[in-house]
Structure 1
C-alpha cells in the first residue's frame, strides 16, 4: 500500500509545482504588461508629472510703459516691486518665520503664522513690496519656503493733473480707464518666465535646469498734453467748482493750427493713484463721456447753412423781434426787445436766439439736419480715449 501512495504524492507535488509556475508566469506577464503601459503608453504623462515636481516656474513681469506729456515729462510710470509668497509645506517653523517677517512686511505675526501653517502649496504674504525690503528678506535665515514674484507699482507723479486723461490701472496691472485702458496693448508688454529645477525642499539646484524666457517691456505713450497748461486749467476749474454755485465744469484747450489737445479736464477730478478710494461716479472723463447742449455754438452752424444754401448773405438784413414762438415755448434773446434790424453778421455778433431761429426756418428742417451731421453732430470724434459719447 505504501508503494502505491508514493507515486501519488509525487504526482500531487508536480501538479502543485505546475500551478505555482503558471501563477508566477501570469504574475510576470502582468508586471511586464504594466511596465509596458507605464513606459510606452502612459510614459509621457508620468515623465511630465515627474518633471513638473522638480521644475518651478517663476513669472517675470514686463515693465509697463510710461505715459508722458508733450515734453516727455512722466504722467505715469512703473517701479520694481515684488510679491512675497510662500510654500507652507517647506516652512520648518511658521511662528519663527512669521516673527522674522512681521516688521519687514508690516503684517501682524499672527496673520503670517496662520498663512504659513496653511495646508496648501501657495500663499501670498504681501504684495508690492519694495526691492530693498525683499533684499533683506532674502538674507534671512528663516527664508526657507519663501519665494518672490515680480509685482510692479504704478505711480502717477502729477497726481490729479491730467488724471482723467491718463486713467489708471487695476490691481492686476491692466488699464481700466483713460489712456491706460485705450493703449493697454502698447503699454503692457509681454510677461516672461523662468523655469528652475529645484530639490525636494523647493530650493533651486545650482547646476540644474534654468530656462528663462525674458519679458518684453511695454512701450512709452507720449501725449499732446502740456503738463504746465493742464495744471493751470485744472486750477481754474477747481476754483470754479469751489465757488458754492458751480457743481461741474469742463475745459478743453487745443492748438489752433493743429487741433492737438494740450489740456483737457473737468471738475471734480481725481488722482489715479487713489482711484480705489475715490467715488466711482468721479472715475470718468466728463469732457468726452457726458452729453452737453451745444448752446450758442449752434448759431455758427445755422448761419453757415443759411449762407451756403443761398438763403442769406452776411449783409442780409432781418427784422428781429425780442421773442419768437418755437413749438410750445417762447424763445427770447438775452433781453426781450422791440423789433430791431440785424444783419446776418449782427445776429452772430449779438448772439441773437430769435434771429438764428428765423434763419433756421429759412433753411428747412431736412436741409438743416444734413448740415448738423456734416458738422459732426450725432457722431464721435474718434479721440483716442475710451467712453466717448456722440456729440
Structure 2
C-alpha cells in the first residue's frame, strides 16, 4: 500500500515539475518573441549583414608638365597563417624564390605558430598569380591597392611614400595626405554562413571618392639631371651627402630639389635614415660664404658702405682678443667691398658685420627669412639655429658676418639669396603648383607671393654685379658656362661638431643665378663632408653647378650671348 502511495506522490511531483518547467518555457518564449524581438533581430542581422569598407583610390602626384610621379595601382599582399603551415622549411624555400627575403627569415616567421603574418605588403599581379598557383598551405594572396612610383628614386625625398595603412609617411605623401587620400566608401551586404558576400542581398552602397591630384612645381626632366650630377659630385668628393635646389627667383617656385643618396619609395622599408632625409629642409648647416650677400645687403642697405668702400685685409682679425683667421692667411691688402665679395674675404665681412651691429644684422636676418622655416610645403621644415640676439658677443657677430656661428637649411639660404636677382624682392618658396580633381579639373592654383623686400633695387643691382665678378674672375670661375653671364658665390663652411667648429669637416657650396641680366633661375649646390684634397666650394660644388646650368640653358633653348669679357665689365649704376 505504501509503495503504491509513494509512486502516486512521485508521479504528482513529476507532473508539477513538468508543468512549472513548461510554464517557465512558455514565459521565456513569449519574452523572446515579444520583448526581445527587436534586439535579437538586430543581433541576427549583425551576424549575417556586414559593412565592408571600400578604400578610396589615392590621388596622383605629378610634376609641372603632368608627368606622373606617384599613382594608385592594384596590388596584392602576401599573408600567412603560420598556425596552419605544416612544413615551414619547405614553404620558406619556395617563397624565398619569389619574395625579397631570405629562406631563414621566412622559415622563422612561418614557424611561430601565430594566426597572422604579413609577408609582403605589396606585390604586382603577375607575382601574386604565381604565388597563388603554388597552393601553399596557410599562404593567402589578398587583393588591395597601393601607391606606385614609376620613376623609382626620382625626387624620392620630395615625394615620400605611403605605409601599409594607406597613410603618407614622408614628403608630399605625408604633407598633403588629406588631399591625396580621398574618402572611403562602404558596401552593406548579407553574407552566407562562411562570411562570403551575397551581392543579390545588397542593402546599401556608397562609392569611394578618389583623392585629388597634387601637381608640383618641379620639372621631372631637370630633376633627373640635377640628381645625376649631384650623385657625380658627391662621389667625386667622397662626400657623405648633398643637395641641389633650383628656384625661379621671380615666383619662388621650386624647379628641382634633389638629394643624394636617395631611396626607392617602392621599397622604402630597406632605406636608411641617410637616404630618407630631405637635407634641403631638414638639416641646418653653417652656410659659409654664400651668406655674405646678406651681410653685404645690411652694410649697403643701411648706408654704412658702398661697393667701393676700402678694407685693409691681412689674413686675420683680432676681435675682443680673439684671433679669427681668414681663409687666405696673408690677405689681399687694401681691397674694395666688391673685390672682397669677389675673392670671398672673410675679414671684409667681419668688418661689415661689426659695423652693422647686432640689431642691424638680426634685422636683415629676419628680413631675409632666415629666422623661421621656409614654409616651402615639405614636412620637417627647420627654422635653423641662431644665437639669441641678447647673447651675441663681438666674436659671434664677426663670425656670423661670413656665415659661421649659426646654421640654416639650404632652402632658407637659397630663398634669401634669391632676392638679389629679383630686384631685392624675396618670394615665398613653394613646391605645390596646383590641386586637380580626379578628372583633371583645377581646384586650386598656388599663386606667387612676396614674402619680403629686404633690398632696394639699387642695392640688389650692386650685389648682383659683385656676384657676376665673383663668377667671372673670382672664386666662382669653375662654375662659368661659356657663352653665358652668371652671378654666384662660393661657400666653404666648417661644420659644428659637439658644439665646436671642426677643422676638417666642411660643407662645400655654390650659389649662382643666370643668365644675367635676366636670370631665369637661381641654383644652390651643397655637398656635405667632402673627404680628401677637394673640399673648397669652387672645387667641389661649382663643377656640379656648371654641368646642371649648361643643361638648363639648352633645355630652355637660351642661345649663347656673352662676349669675350663674359660679363666682367665694370659696374655701371642703373
Question: TM-score, normalized by length of structure 2?
Answer: 0.54
Structure 2 residue runs without a partner (length 5+) = 384-407, 409-574
Q: Report the structure, 1 or 2, having the larger strand content.
A: 2
**Equivalent residues in 2 for 1:207-286, closer than 5 Å:** 207-286=200-279
Q: For the structure 1 residues 47 and 86, does the alpha-carbon distance in structure 2 shift closer, same or farther, using more than 3 Å as the test?
A: farther
Please tell me whether residue 365 in structure 1 is matched to residue 368 in structure 2. Answer: no
CA contact (8 A) 2:191 2:198 kept: yes
Structure 1 residue runs without a partner (length 5+) = none
CA contact (8 A) 1:60 1:149 kept: no
Alignment-derived partner of residue 80 in structure 1? 74
Q: For the structure 1 residues 205 and 157, does the alpha-carbon distance in structure 2 shift closer, same or farther, using more than 3 Å as the test?
A: closer
Cα distance between partner residues in 2 of 1:289 and 1:313: 36
Please tell me whether residue 340 in structure 1 is matched to residue 334 in structure 2. Answer: yes
CA contact (8 A) 2:98 2:127 kept: no
Query: Could you report, residue by residue, the CA deviation over 1:273-329 in whole angstroms, capped at 9, with x for unpaired residues?
Result: 121112233212111110121212322222222223332233333333332124634
The offset of 1:73, in angstroms, is 0.4
Alignment-derived partner of residue 532 in structure 2? none
Query: Could you report, residue by residue, the CA deviation over 1:208-243 in whole angstroms, capped at 9, with x for unpaired residues?
Result: 235322111111111111011001101111111222
Cα distance between partner residues in 2 of 1:233 and 1:245: 18
Alignment-derived partner of residue 351 in structure 1? 344
Cα distance between partner residues in 1 of 2:345 and 2:160: 40
Cα distance between partner residues in 2 of 1:161 and 1:119: 39
Larger Rg: 1
Cα distance between partner residues in 2 of 1:257 and 1:208: 60
Cα distance between partner residues in 2 of 1:184 and 1:135: 31
Cα distance between partner residues in 2 of 1:311 and 1:206: 81
Q: For the structure 1 residues 84 and 325, does the alpha-carbon distance in structure 2 shift closer, same or farther, using more than 3 Å as the test?
A: closer
CA contact (8 A) 1:58 1:149 kept: no
Following TM superposition, the consecutive aligned residue runs of length 4 or more in structure 1 with deviations greater than 6 angstroms are 15-22, 84-87, 105-108, 122-126, 132-138
The offset of 1:81, in angstroms, is 2.9
SS at match of 1:59: strand
State how many pairs are aligned.
364
Give the one of 174, 177, 180 matched to 2:170: 177
Give the one of 55, 58, 70 matched to 1:64: 58
Q: For the structure 1 residues 163 and 25, does the alpha-carbon distance in structure 2 shift closer, same or farther, using more than 3 Å as the test?
A: same
Which moves more between the two structures, 42-51 or 69-78?
42-51
Q: For the structure 1 residues 194 and 161, does the alpha-carbon distance in structure 2 shift closer, same or farther, using more than 3 Å as the test?
A: same
Cα distance between partner residues in 1 of 2:304 and 2:204: 77
SS at match of 1:161: coil
Query: Could you report, residue by residue, the CA deviation over 1:328-374 in whole angstroms, capped at 9, with x for unpaired residues?
Result: 342215352363142x3333333221111111111112332222222
Please tell me whether residue 46 in structure 1 is matched to residue 43 in structure 2. Answer: no
Q: CA RMSD in A?
A: 4.1
